[in-house]
Structure 1
Amino acid sequence: MIEHLHWLLIAAFVVGLGKGGLTGVAALAVPFLAISMNPVAAAAILLPIFIVTDWFSVRIYRRDYSSRNLAILVPAILAGIVLASFLVAIAPEALLLIFTGLVGVWSATRSWLGRGDTNPRPARVAPGIFWGLVTGVTTFITHSGAPPTQAYLLPQRLPRLVFAGTMAITFAIGNLAKLPGYQALGYFDDLDWALVAGLTAMGVLGTAAGRWLVKKINDASYTRVIEALLMLLSLALFWKAWTLITGP
């Protein structure tokens, strides 16, 4: 993987930016790396970086989160991860990428069209369970769980730090829960752990940079940035799905 080192360093920094509060950016790392390397290998090498930077992010946002949303989302995401560990062998990755991308486009477009509606939506249980299950499946197979989670959280118009903290804690738990499944599927068998350690340090730097950026923008600007990143991520997922369908 040394021949891909410059791409890996960029991807690790991008993961950190996302974990620092620019939610959705982190999920761009896998499709970004898929340009130059096998997407399964990309997902495997990035998971340890996700996990370490997740917990730095949790420390940063440990006082800023929605306990109700966590109580709804986390159990559903864990159930989705268990389901995904059985589906991964039979569900086409391209189909999941397209579905996740559609969710992101729908969520961002809905938010843009409803810009005049400033009334926050409540954190409802049934939609939260649905989006949590979808998040669990998509984050396990494609590392792209942000669009379903944001589809549920964005209409609530949470303060930016609460939004970032809720996402941070949710994915810290979810990414840690992926480890047994990834190990059982053999995704870690050929990893260069020394390389992973170096990339993780770059991810931590990105986390600090992401936190700094979030503190510099207000709630309205933060929401617009997240929506734009969500749309960008969704388009990247469509591109990745297209490459899987058409081949190299």
Structure 2
Amino acid sequence: MITDPVFYAAAVPAVVLMGLAKGGFSGLGLLSLPLMALVLSPIQAAAITLPILIVQDVVTVWAYRHTWDRRNVAILLPSAMVGILSGYLLAAKVSDAAVTLAVGLIAVAFAVRRMVLERRATPPQAARADVPRGVVWGWVTGFTSMIAHAGGPPFQIYVMPQKLPRDVFVGTGAVFFAVANWIKVPPYIALGQFTPENLATAAALFPVAIASTWAGVRLVRRVSGEKFYTLVYMLLIVVGTKLVVDGTLALI
């Protein structure tokens, strides 16, 4: 297990951010891995993060077990599995920076456009959970999750236009990513990243992970549905901008 206090000074805030994201404040989790990568290699940080995410998934799935959209999950998961496999097979050939930049640009453009449309006198009607869009965005979600740990924005781009009730939106993401994270376990094992040190370090952070996730669930339920979506759009712009900056700096 890692015992360096400097690591935990970065890891504890990162896990808290992941917990708030899992609780419903979508997007904050993308800020966690870069924070941990300040004191670890990105690969080791990702390996420590995945078991923590799986533990947090248990909390969110339990909290939202009665409020999730089965049709969306059924549409997204098959292509997400293909996307995760594609990411694993193409990891050595695809630039993380290019994927990060592309996801960031798409996320910012989508969020800004939706916020402008929502403020019109006649905002757009809710979209349907359709198979063609779901297959495309499911694959993108799985691929970017495996390559650049950035599956949240593509998922939101597909689901948010449906204007699901707040708890259904959060619950659908909870169930979807809970399954997707388990699908990512075999590739991580194949890459030799689940070492005893990494697993023990993740286990040491479990209490913080569980507490912060419950806090996220409680806080999200205090926010009205309308304000919740506005907040998520704003977070998506912030996270998308960060991805653009990260991707651009890495390509320079």
* TM-score interval (norm. to shorter): over 0.9
Equivalent residue, structure 2, for 1:53? 56
**From 134, 145, 149, the counterpart of 1:139:** 145
**From 15, 19, 33, the counterpart of 2:36:** 33
Q: Is 6-15 or 24-33 further displaced after alignment?
A: 24-33
Equivalent residue, structure 2, for 1:64? 67
Q: Deviations over 1:139-164 (max 9, x none)?
A: 11222101001000111111100000
Q: How far is the alpha carbon of 1:215 from its aligned partner? A: 0.9
**From 90, 95, 105, the counterpart of 1:92:** 95
CA distance in 1, matches of 2:157, 2:229: 13
**From 202, 208, 212, the counterpart of 2:208:** 202
1:43 and 1:142 in contact (8 A); partners too: no
Pair 1:181-2:187 in alignment: yes
1:45 and 1:191 in contact (8 A); partners too: no
Structure 2 letter corresponding to 1:191? E
How many residues in Structure 1 have an aligned counterpart in Structure 2?
246
What is the aligned-residue identity percentage? 35
CA distance in 2, matches of 1:4, 1:135: 29
Q: How far is the alpha carbon of 1:64 from its aligned partner? A: 0.4
Structure 1 letter corresponding to 2:43? V
Equivalent residue, structure 2, for 1:170? 176
Equivalent residue, structure 2, for 1:114? 117
Where structure 2 has 5 or more consecutive residues not aligned to the other structure, the ranges are none
Structure 2 letter corresponding to 1:135? T
Helix, strand or coil for the counterpart of 1:74?
helix
Helix, strand or coil for the counterpart of 1:192?
helix
2:44 and 2:198 in contact (8 A); partners too: no
Q: How far is the alpha carbon of 1:99 from its aligned partner? A: 1.3
Pair 1:214-2:217 in alignment: no
Q: Is 193-202 or 174-183 further displaced after alignment?
A: 193-202
Q: Deviations over 1:4-63 (max 9, x none)?
A: 211101111111111111122122211232344322222111111111101211011000
Structure 2 letter corresponding to 1:211? V
Q: Structure 1 residue runs of 4+, over 6 Å off?
A: none
Q: How far is the alpha carbon of 1:204 from its aligned partner? A: 0.8
Where structure 1 has 5 or more consecutive residues not aligned to the other structure, the ranges are none
1:20 and 1:209 in contact (8 A); partners too: yes
RMSD of equivalent CA atoms: 1.5
Q: 1:133 to 1:30 in 2, by over 3 A?
A: same
Q: 1:173 to 1:75 in 2, by over 3 A?
A: same
